[in-house]
């Protein structure tokens, strides 16, 4: 098969566009002010990259494929931005775990007694485990949402269950 046929076949293959972070059906798309700003910055960057790709006249097949990718990613991001429901953490009850809270849990039974975990409950697009940001739909976030300071809560982690105490709740900007 000649290289010309390969390129033509490639051009007819629709691009695979990676999906956005999963949001369960019927679940509101809550975002923090920082999360909304991140989504807007991502859209601005994608639009700038698409504009640059439009100006590229080197190879029409590659350019068309690249533009399809950008257009698909921009469409998904625009849809996510359109469904965003801004929640200002500063307006949340200070002694209750809600969206936007930074929570510290200490294991009191099961697991490693005395172990502490701290994480912030954020929107699905903001979640970044390495940065200590957990999506509000994650099991650990669901287990503690609505709970109050000093409350002990069962936490199922795989096959084991721990009892953790909520030792701190803070909100950015509060």
Mean pLDDT of the chain: 88
> What's the pLDDT tens digit per position in 95-152?
999 999 999 999 999 889 999 999 999 999 999 999 999 999 999 999 999 999 999 9
pTM, two decimal places = 0.84
Give the model's confidence band at 2: pLDDT under 50 very low, under 70 low, under 90 confident, else very high: very low
Q: What is the 3-state secondary structure (H, E, C) of 109-135?
A: ECCCCCCEEEEEEECCCCCEHHHCEEE
Q: In whole angstroms, give the CA distance from residue 137 to residue 141.
A: 7
- Percentage of the chain beyond pLDDT 90 is 64
Place of tokens 């504009």: 51
Q: Position of tokens 């080197």?
A: 58
148 — phi, psi (to 5°)? -105, 165
- SS3 of the chain: CCHHHHHHHHHHCCCCCCCCCCCCCCCCEEECHHHHHHHHHHHHHHHHHHHHHHHCCCCHHHHHHHHHHHHHHHHHHHHHHHHEEECCHHHCCCCECCCCEEEEEEEEECCCCCCEEEEEEECCCCCEHHHCEEECCCHHHHHHCCCECCCEEEEEECCEEEEEEEEEEEECCC
Residues forming a β-bridge with 84: 29
């Amino acid at each position: 098969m000649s290289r010309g046929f390969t390129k033509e076949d490639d051009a007819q293959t629709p691009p695979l566009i990676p999906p956005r972070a999963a949001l369960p059906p019927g679940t509101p798309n809550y975002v923090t002010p920082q999360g909304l700003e991140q989504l807007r910055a991502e859209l601005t960057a994608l639009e700038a990259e698409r504009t640059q790709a439009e100006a590229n006249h080197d190879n029409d097949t590659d350019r068309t494929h690249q533009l399809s990718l950008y257009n698909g990613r921009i469409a998904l991001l625009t849809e996510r931005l359109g469904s965003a429901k801004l929640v200002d953490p500063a307006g949340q009850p200070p002694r209750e775990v809600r969206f936007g809270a930074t929570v510290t849990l200490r294991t009191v039974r099961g697991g490693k007694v005395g172990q502490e975990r701290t994480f912030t409950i954020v929107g699905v697009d903001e979640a970044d485990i390495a940065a200590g940001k957990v999506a509000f739909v994650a099991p650990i976030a669901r287990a503690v949402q609505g709970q109050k300071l000093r409350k002990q809560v069962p936490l199922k982690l795989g096959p084991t269950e721990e009892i953790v105490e909520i030792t701190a709740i803070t909100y950015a900007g509060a």
